[in-house]
Amino acid sequence: MASPIILASQSPFRRSLLENAGVDFEAIGAQIDERAVEAPLADTGLGPEDVASVLAEAKAVDVSQRRPDAIVIGADQTLSLGDEIFHKPADMEAARAHLLALSGRSHALNSALVIARGGAVEWRHSQVATMRMRVLDPGFIGRYLSATGEVALQSVGAYQYEGRGIQLFERVEGDYFAIVGLPMLPLLAKLRDMGAIDG
């Protein structure tokens, strides 16, 4: 019998991607403090892609230690503007500051995946998408945040590319699923290789 699949995330966006693909899985949030995991990395010279991978690993291993029978998928995404790494905005004022900083500039979304089983990492993958935001009028930013509401606080860039956030961009280079936060094609290929889903 195939091992159960667990997504170590409570993200509704990641859950919907797996559900839409017809994957039978359970979602269990990792019990980690992401900022505490990230803090020691600040002086190591690790890039934003590596930081995403470390966080994805921490999530996968945390849940895998509690459910060693399962194939556990950990995912994380960082947004980098030059050397600066952005985190989810704490409130609407922080969301406004994010969008003002990103306006008219290109940023990277670094999406990382890790699969763990029995508390040990078995596979990792990362992808980067480059997002060019158009120049945003401050009045438009206010109206955009008013229209999107609290959902703007659920992602690092204060936007959901798969929703109203598409209006913020003039050019995008990268995989749609990596942008949403779960690179599906390599993940599904790996799950097939592991015999976890029908192939």
Q: Which positions are catalytic?
A: 76
pLDDT of residue 39: 81
Q: Are the C-beta atoms of 21 and 42 separated by less than 8 Å?
A: no
User: Taking 90 as the threshold, does the pLDDT of residue 100 lie above it?
Assistant: yes
Vertex 128: Cα angle to 62 and 116 (nearest 5): 20
Token pair recorded at residue 83: 């050397």
Return the CATH number of the domain spanning residue range 5-193.
Answer: 3.90.950.10
Q: Which residues of 22-39 are buried (b: 16+ CB within 10 A; e: fewer)?
A: ebebebbebebebeebbe
Please state the pTM of the whole predicted model.
Answer: 0.91
* Per-residue pLDDT tens over the stretch 186-195: 999 999 999 9
Q: Are the C-beta atoms of 78 and 72 separated by less than 8 Å?
A: no
Q: What are phi and psi of 42, to 5 degrees?
A: -55, -35
User: Taking 70 as the threshold, does the pLDDT of residue 1 lie above it?
Assistant: no
